[in-house]
A and B are shown apart, each in its own frame.
Chain A
Amino acid sequence: MKKIILIVDDDVDYLFQMKLKVEHFGFEVVTADGQAEAEELIKTLKPDLAILDLMMENEDSGFILSYKLKNKYPELPVIITTAVTAETGMIFEHSSETDKNWIKADLFLDKGIRVDLLEKEIRKLLNL
């Protein structure tokens, strides 16, 4: 059985391209175009890993979605992708256990990450 990856992003082009890449890694991909659609989806779908954009409907949609996902599926690995780091210079990594607790994401990735690194990170989180 192929592992199911949920990708959520409000940029249709990014979503399409990510889907293609991740499918190419050999996973099954389900997409949602925002927090609202994703929340609807996860009512019936249990993905094996989720990749969420940080800023969607709201500036912290990714956090909230991650929080809800983890509440429903505590073991589900969550990656939050963001373009914030490079452009705004905001520091963006969780260093302490406390951050991890309320941010509830396993990994933060820059949206411009190289394909091979992306694949490596996904496999690591899935213990493959």
Chain B
Amino acid sequence: MSILKILIVDDEPGIRSGARRILSNFKVDYPFMDEPIEFEILEAATGEEAMIIVEENTPDIVLLDNKLPGALGIEVLEFIRKKQLDIVVVMITSYASLELAVKATREGAYDFIPKPFTPQELRSSIENITKHIFLKRTTQKLNTAGKQIRFQFLSILSHELKTPLNAIEGYLNIIKERQLGDDIKNYEQAIERSIERVKGMRGLILDMLDFTKIESGKSTDKIEFIDIIPILQISLDTIKPFAIQKDVNVYLNTKDSVYIDFDKSQLEIIFNNLLSNAVKYNVENGRVDIWIKKIGDNIEITFSDTGIGMEESDIEKLFVDFFRIKNHQTKNITGSGLGLSITKKIIDLYKGHIQVSSILKKGSNFVLTFPIKQS
């Protein structure tokens, strides 16, 4: 059973016992959850007391009255933020002060409850918060390593394989049943899209193979001191037909040999992924530029494109397995969302770095740095 701790901070005993009564038998049931969430109630009569309980008991939710004797509610809020505690704070206010509301929201207050509140108001606020906490923690759980991830990985994978299969099957049924009439021309889109989804599935399977190779082997034992340029050339040749089709020009701006310790096939995987993204998420008549530089004991490789770009908030998530940005520009582009996470895994094996900068509608830069020698 899961229990969330709620700390009620109010100097009026009546409010505290009222809230306790309202929430004592309250349960929140979320369809994703195995079991309902219940609540344990803690009480504090002053701001100082609240801060002590916050430190000792780490509640999940704090219901905070602003008008307290001594330390104000807003100070408790600041205290929680400074300690970076994962606590959702709800302000209970008897007067609607805009100034307070603005300040409290800036300090991270999640919600406001008017005072006096009805049982229904309190319950529905707690319910919303519980939902918020649950979703947040579930996502956090998925992002931490472990067995859960394995399971999650497989279930997402099966989902990602099933979705295109359903789409293709759907189109085949439309064709079989002549749902669009007798003119074969009406079926062009259905056929085009089916081919596109087949391609997407093949891509996913290939990405999966790369992925498992890295996951299982962790091997960098085929490291040789190799020239980067010919490897890059192989990737360029692979991508060429696609680039022509997309009307994107790719320029390799460094022609001289640059040597580095690397496993050839792994370097190729990195280049294929970054290059295919730079072309895939580009615009008509766009360009991709590649530079290679030697800086001290490191090699820096830059892929710069004039494509659709990304928002700051999405950049952080790029290396998460299966992550794809969903918007108007990307909706017709197929992909597995594994390319960059594979890329990152290889980069880590070589103690390298990848840095991403991007401007929406302008383009993106992916800068790789690797030590020349692996010790």
Contacts and interface: CB of A to CB of B under 8 A. Distances in A.
Nearest to A96: B29
Nearest to B28: A98
Interface stretch (A71-79, A86-94, A120-128): A86-94
B166 A111 contact: yes
Contacts of A87: 155-156, 158-159, 162
Interface string A92-114: 11111011011100000001100
Contacts of B171: 13, 17
A20 B156 CA distance: 28
A42 interface: no
B32 A91 contact: yes
Contacts of B155: 87-89
B179 interface: yes
A42 to B, nearest CB: 18
A12 B331 contact: yes
B127 interface: yes
Contact of A83 (B30, B163, B197, B331): B163
Interface string A1-28: 0000000001111101100100010000
A56 interface: yes
A53 B358 CA distance: 30
A34 B326 CA distance: 9
Interface in B167-196: 167, 170-171, 174, 179-180, 189, 193
Contact of A94 (B31, B156, B179): B31
Interface string B311-327: 00000000000000011
B143 to A, nearest CB: 13
A17 B29 contact: no
Nearest to B30: A99
Contact of B170 (A13, A36, A88): A13
Interface in B293-345: 326-328, 331-332
B103 interface: no
Given A20-B179, A34-B326, A87-B158, A12 B29 contact: no
B327 A57 contact: yes
B326 A57 contact: yes
Contacts of A14: 163, 166-167, 170
A48 interface: no
A93 B131 CA distance: 16
Nearest to A57: B326
B31 A13 contact: no
B128 interface: yes
A13 B193 contact: yes
B329 to A, nearest CB: 11
Contacts of B31: 90-94, 99, 103
Contacts of B124: 101-102
Nearest to B131: A102
A17 B332 contact: no
B326 A56 contact: yes
Contacts of A92: 31-32
B170 A17 contact: yes
Contact of A20 (B34, B131, B174): B174
Contacts of A98: 28-29, 127
A60 interface: yes
A112 B159 contact: no
B205 interface: no
Nearest to A111: B166
A17 B331 contact: no
Contacts of B328: 33-34, 37
A20 B135 CA distance: 34
Contacts of A57: 326-327
Contacts of B158: 87
Contacts of B179: 20, 24
A62 to B, nearest CB: 12
Given A17-B174, A99-B29, A33 B162 contact: no
A92 B180 CA distance: 34
13 contacts: A11-B163, A14-B166, A20-B179, A20-B180, A37-B328, A60-B135, A88-B155, A88-B159, A90-B32, A92-B32, A93-B31, A102-B124, A102-B128
Interface of B: 28-32, 34, 124, 127-128, 131, 135, 139, 155-156, 158-159, 162-163, 166-167, 170-171, 174, 179-180, 189, 193, 197, 326-328, 331-332
Given A14-B166, A83-B162, A89-B155, 16 more contacts: A10-B326, A10-B331, A12-B193, A12-B332, A17-B170, A20-B179, A33-B331, A59-B135, A59-B139, A83-B163, A92-B31, A93-B31, A94-B31, A96-B29, A98-B29, A98-B127
